C-alpha cells in the first residue's frame, strides 16, 4: 500500500469534504465565473467601441460647428462685401465706371473717343450689372499705365475685354476698346 492510499483511508473524513468542496469550486468556476469573465471582457470591448464612437461623434460635432461658424463668417464677409465694396446703387455704379474711368484716362493722357453703358439685371439675384464699353486713344505706355491704375483701384470694376488697334492718324497712336463691368445692389437693403 502506498502512502497516498493509506492517507486517504485514514483521513477519509477530512479528504472527502475537501474533494467535494474542490469539485464544487471547479463546477462553480466553469458554470459561473468563466461566463462572467467573458461578459466582463465583452463589456470592456463594448465600452472601448462606445468610447471610440463617442470620439468620432465629438469630432463630427466639432466639424459641424466649424462648418456653421465658417458659414456664418462667409455670410458676414459677403454682407460686408455687398455693403462696403460694391456700389450702393446704379448712380454709384455709373460714377465708378464712367466718371472714374474718364478721370483715369485724362490723368494718363488718353483721349476718350466713345463710351456706352448698359445696366442688366441678373436673374435670381439681388445684384445688377452695369457694363460699359469705352474707347480711348493714346500711346502704348499711357494705355499700360491706365490699365495698371484701373486694376489697383479700390473700386470693384471687372475688366472683361481689352482690344488694342492701331489708329490711322499716326503710327504711334493706339485705340483701346475696353469692356468693364461693375455690380451694384438692387435687392432688399435689409439683406445687405
What pLDDT, on the 0 to 100 scale, is given for residue 57? 94
Regarding whether 81 and 95 lie in a shared domain, the answer is: no
Residue showing cell 488694342? 164
Regarding whether 60 and 75 lie in a shared domain, the answer is: yes
Where a domain ends, among 38, 57, 85?
A: 85
Burial (Cβ within 10 Å: 0-12, 13-18, ≥19) of residue 109:
middle
Mean pLDDT (whole number) for 126-145: 89
Mean pLDDT (whole number) for 5-21: 80
Where a domain ends, among 33, 67, 85?
A: 85
User: What is the C-alpha separation between 192 and 180, in angstroms, rounded?
Assistant: 24
User: Could you tell me the residue range of the domain that residue 47 belongs to?
Assistant: 1-85
Regarding whether 95 and 76 lie in a shared domain, the answer is: no
Regarding whether 123 and 60 lie in a shared domain, the answer is: no
Strand order in the sheet with 127-138: 111-121, 127-138, 174-185, 158-166
Residue 170 sits in a domain of what CATH number? 3.30.70.60
User: What is the C-alpha separation between 20 and 66, in angstroms, rounded?
Assistant: 67
Residues making up the chain, counted from first to last? 192
Where a domain ends, among 57, 85, 113?
A: 85
Tell me the three state secondary structure of residue 159: strand
Regarding whether 100 and 74 lie in a shared domain, the answer is: no
Using 50, 70 and 90 to split pLDDT, how confident is the model at 55? Answer: very high
Span of 114-118, 144-148, 187-191 with lowest mean pLDDT:
187-191
Regarding whether 165 and 109 lie in a shared domain, the answer is: yes
What's the pTM? 0.58
Average pLDDT, the chain: 84
Regarding whether 107 and 73 lie in a shared domain, the answer is: no
How many structural domains compose the chain? 2
In this predicted model, what pLDDT tens digit does every residue of 85-117 receive, in sequence order? 888 888 888 888 888 888 888 999 988 877 777
Amino acid at each position: 500500500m502506498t502512502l497516498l492510499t493509506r492517507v486517504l483511508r485514514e483521513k477519509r473524513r477530512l479528504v472527502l469534504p475537501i474533494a467535494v468542496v474542490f469539485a464544487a469550486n471547479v463546477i462553480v468556476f466553469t458554470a459561473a465565473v468563466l461566463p462572467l469573465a467573458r461578459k466582463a471582457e465583452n463589456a470592456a470591448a463594448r465600452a472601448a467601441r462606445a468610447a471610440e464612437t463617442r470620439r468620432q461623434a465629438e469630432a463630427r460635432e466639432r466639424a459641424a460647428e466649424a462648418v456653421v461658424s465658417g458659414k456664418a463668417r462667409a455670410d458676414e464677409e459677403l454682407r460686408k462685401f455687398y455693403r462696403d465694396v460694391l456700389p450702393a446703387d446704379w448712380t454709384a455704379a455709373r460714377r465708378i465706371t464712367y466718371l472714374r474711368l474718364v478721370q483715369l484716362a485724362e490723368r494718363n493722357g488718353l483721349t476718350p473717343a466713345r463710351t456706352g453703358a448698359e445696366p442688366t439685371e441678373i436673374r435670381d439675384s439681388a445684384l445688377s450689372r452695369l457694363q460699359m464699353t469705352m474707347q480711348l486713344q493714346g500711346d502704348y505706355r499711357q494705355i499700360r499705365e491706365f490699365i495698371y491704375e484701373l486694376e489697383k483701384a479700390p473700386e470693384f470694376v471687372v475688366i472683361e475685354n481689352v482690344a488694342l488697334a492701331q489708329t490711322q492718324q499716326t503710327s504711334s497712336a493706339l485705340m483701346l476698346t475696353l469692356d468693364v463691368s461693375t455690380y451694384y445692389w438692387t435687392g432688399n437693403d435689409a439683406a445687405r
